[in-house]
Amino acid sequence: MKMDIDRIAALARIKLKAEEKEKLAADLGNILSYVEKLSSLDTENVPPTSHVLAIENVFRKDVQTPQRIIEEVLAKAPEREGDFFKVPKVVEGS
Amino acid sequence: MSAEYESVIGLEVHVQLKTKSKLFCGCPAEFGAEPNSNTCPVCLGLPGSLPVLNEQAFLYGIQIALALNCRVAGRLKFDRKNYFYPDLPKAYQISQYDQPLSSGGHLLVEMKEGQKKIGITRAHMEEDAGKLLHEGRAGSVVDYNRAGVPLMEIVSEPDIRTPDEAYAYLTALKAVLQYVGVSDCDMEKGSLRCDANVSIRPKGETRLGTKVEIKNLNSFSAVKRALQYEIARQIDAAEKGETIFQETRLWNDERALTLTMRSKEEAHDYRYFPEPDLVPFTVSSDWVEDLREDLPELPAARKERFVKDYGLSEYDASVLIQDKDLGNFFEECVTAGAPPKRASNLIQSELLGMLYERGETFHAMKTTAAGIAGLIRLVENGTISGRSAKDVLADMLETAKPAEDIVREKGLTQVSDETVIAEAAKKVIAANPKPVEDYKNGKEKSFAFLVGQVMRETKGKANPALANKVLKELLG
């Protein structure tokens, strides 16, 4: 199975060296051909399974349960500015 | 627009559901809290946390679907939409892909040319992202209070043909959402947001042209202006033989133009897959019918009732029902004894305009429905003229006093004494020989002018019917 390793890397936001690309292409190829076996089955009249547990309709009531953990979380954030998380500049528009 | 082209528009509206807590966790969903104070491991996407669906949000979602004439799915699931952006703590948004909550609906939109049916492709549930702030900073900062807040995304069919239709669709959609009562629909707070897809094609062509998505539309009128601009830009490009690229453009309201945001050439690949942390959901038809019964009266039904029960014109009814509270106010006036047509006229031709000039909404105005009914009663029983009613209404909005008090204090009681009116009429005739002569030579317009002068002479207090009669008699 052919795939575009560069595209997958770009979508996952990771940078790969040439030798890593080669190795990953081989690994992913193996995984895909393993999974490919499934396509030999006739699934014509079988509805897709999204979940394997026979449970449905699990809800919670609309009740507020404030946690107030933000100080703890911000303390562990790579960067903060006051009570905000700070991230590299995201520019929209041109 | 150029006669040779037509535009094809589809709108995506995100509406925030007014639940107390977020879609998948118990964090407060309210607007305006301290940055990041309404967050927890679930909405921050911390490892090991698990989402659980808010039942109320789900019920609201179904009610919206029903109000938009959609089919509610018997079985549905949630999916992960994967992309990297700092406003998305988990690097995926829990949304719905191939089994949405509902699909196949429509909305009837009032246009000058008549009613138009706009299809609704689907209405599904998803969580909101956080909020990025850039201004005046070296980097960007993020507030995740909004991350995980419940939204319904309502996608229209590309049935909309003009910016005016887009505006009318949004107005009608907002009214429906307000009537269902599941969102405050406040664009300023971001609880109602709209993106537009627009393309052009030569008239008669049935295939769709290359579509451009417009974002950053902060009001319904911005949607209209942005579409007008973008359609003109696309037609211009087409006529110059330039290619229109599929891209996302941002509306810049100050400069009144759209600018390229990102090209869709490297098409977004969201790699949707079923959200394994949420179980699937089934909705029985009994459940749907129960929720349908719980729906309040919707704008279309109310309009019909206003026409039928109150004898209003289609147009008047459609203005009054556009805002749920305005419709309620009108009905309260009627309950308080005002004849429906008079109440409708006073509200539409005087009250709304005055409030607009005062920069007030009728929610916050100083008079009540009973007050308006009281004013109408004074006109009905001949105590004041229609012209004075305007002045009295203006005073009511200023002072909150009942109409009766204002009329008494200002001595506005209508003059129905023929001798007083005749005296004023004689003065007017003496002072206006030219119009008098014109009238005698058959110029009807001069008569209206003379009646106006009599009204002026009596400071608007003369009974207009009497003024007419007396003048006619005097002019023989």
- The shortest CB-CB distance from A86 to any of B139, B271, B280 is to B139
Helical pair B314-321 and B324-335, crossing angle rounded to 10 deg? 110
Residue B321 in contact with residue B302, Cβ under 8 Å? yes
The mean pLDDT values, 10 residues at a time, for chain B of 476 residues are 84 97 97 94 95 98 98 96 92 96 95 92 97 82 96 98 96 95 89 96 92 93 96 95 91 92 64 94 96 95 96 92 93 95 93 90 86 91 84 90 86 81 90 90 87 85 85 86
ipTM of model: 0.87
List of chain B residues whose C-beta atoms are within 8 Å of the C-beta of residue A57? 279, 281-282
Looking up tokens 């098409």 gives B267
Task: Give the helix, strand, coil percentages of chain B, each rounded to 5.
Answer: 40, 20, 35
What's the rounded Cα separation, in Å, for the pair B229 and B212? 12
Q: CB-based contact (8 Å) between B279 and chain A?
A: yes
φ, ψ of residue B202 in degrees (nearest 5) = -60, 145
- Interface check for B226 against chain A (CB to CB < 8 A): the answer is no
Chain A contact probe: residue of B142, B259, B265, B272 with most A CBs at under 10 A: B142
> Which residues in chain B touch residue A60, judged by CB atoms under 8 angstroms apart?
26, 52-55
Distance, CA of B260 to CA of B245 (rounded, Å): 10
Interface test with A, best of B21, B60, B97, B135 (most A CBs within 10 A): B21
pLDDT confidence of residue B231: 97
Q: Which pLDDT band, with edges at 50, 70 and 90, does A1 fall under?
A: very low
Contact between chains at A89 and B132 (C-beta distance less than 8 A): no
Whole-angstrom Cα distance, residue B68 to residue B64?
6
- What's the longest Cα–Cα distance across chain A? 58
Q: For residue B442, what are the contacts with CB-CB under 8 A and spacing of at least 6?
A: none
Residues of A in contact with B38 (CB under 8 A): 66
Q: How many angstroms separate the CA of residue B38 from the nearest CA in chain A?
A: 7
Q: Which chain B residues are closer than 8 Å to A63 by Cβ?
A: 20-21, 26
The CATH fold assigned to B418-475 is: Arc Repressor Mutant, subunit A (1.10.10)
Q: In this structure, are residues A51 and B280 in contact, taking their beta carbons and an 8 Å threshold?
A: yes
> How far is Cα B53 from Cα B72, in angstroms, rounded to an integer?
17
For residue B137, which residues of chain A lie inside 8 Å, CB to CB? 81, 89
Nearest CA among B257, B248, B258, B187 for reference residue B220 = B187
Chain A nearest C-alpha distance from B7 (Å): 24
Instruction: Quickly count: other Cβ atoms within 10 Å of residue B28's Cβ.
Output: 17
Q: CB neighbours of B454 closer than 8 A, spacing ≥ 6?
A: B421, B424, B425, B428, B462, B467, B470, B471
**B74 reaches A (C-beta below 8 A):** no
Interface of B with A in 306-335 (CB under 8 A): none
- For A37, other C-beta atoms within 10 Å of its C-beta total 8
Backbone Cα Rg of chain A:
22
Which residues, other chains included, contact B398 with Cβ-Cβ below 8 Å and sequence gap of 6+?
Answer: B366
CB-CB neighbors (< 8 A) of A56 in chain B: 279-282
Q: pLDDT tens across A23-44, in order? A: 999 999 999 999 998 889 898 8
Interatomic CA distance for residues B182 and B17, integer angstroms: 6
A6 phi/psi in degrees, rounded to 5: -65, -40
pLDDT for residue B88: 94
Measured CA to CA, the distance from residue A1 to residue A25 in angstroms comes to 10
Distance from CA of A10 to the nearest CA of B (A): 11
User: Among candidates B422, B341, B338, which has minimal Cα distance to B372?
Assistant: B338
Best of B22, B30, B36 to disrupt the A interface (most A CBs within 10 Å) is B36
The answer to whether A56 contacts B57, with C-beta atoms less than 8 Å apart, is no
CB contact under 8 A, B144 and A86: no
Q: Which residues of chain A does B92 touch, with a Cβ-Cβ cutoff of 8 Å?
A: none
| Yes or no, beta carbons of B41 and A91 under 8 Å apart | no
- B142 touching chain A per CB within 8 A: yes
Annotate A44-66 with three-state secondary structure. Answer: CCCCCCCCCCCCCCCEECCCCCC
**Of B300, B386, B319, the residue nearest B329 (C-alpha):** B319
Contacts of B36 in chain A (CB under 8 A): 70, 73-74, 83-85
CB-CB contact of B126 with B17 (8 Å)? no
Q: Taking CB atoms and an 8 Å cut-off, how many pairs form between chains A and B?
A: 133
Is residue B418 a contact partner of residue B466, using CB atoms and an 8 Å limit?
Answer: yes
User: Which residue, among B422, B2, B427, has the nearest Cα to B202 in the 3D structure?
Assistant: B2
CA distance A20 to chain B (A): 22
Which pLDDT score is estimated for B400?
87
Neighbours of A47 (CB within 10 A): 7
Alpha-carbon dihedral of residues B191, B192, B197, B198, nearest 10 degrees?
-140
Place of tokens 């977004």: B268
Q: Are B27 and B21 in contact (CB under 8 A)?
A: yes
Domain boundaries, chain A: 5-40
Are B214 and B252 in contact, with CB atoms under 8 Å apart? no
Residue B5 forms contact with A (CB below 8 Å): no
How far apart CA A68 and CA B34 sit, in angstroms, is: 11
How many angstroms separate the most distant Cα atoms in chain B? 96
Question: What are the residue boundaries of the structural domains of chain B, listed by start?
Answer: 5-290, 297-410, 418-475
Nearest alpha-carbon partner for B464 in B476, B450, B446: B450
The pLDDT, as a whole number, for residue B128 is 97
Three-point CA angle B60, B65, B67, nearest 5°? 95
CA–CA separation, B326 and B336 (whole Å): 15
Which uninterrupted H or E stretch holds B439? helix B433-440
**pLDDT value, residue A54:** 85
C-alpha B472/C-alpha B450 separation (Å) is 10
Which residues of chain A are within 8 Å of residue B140 when distances are taken between CB atoms? 86-90
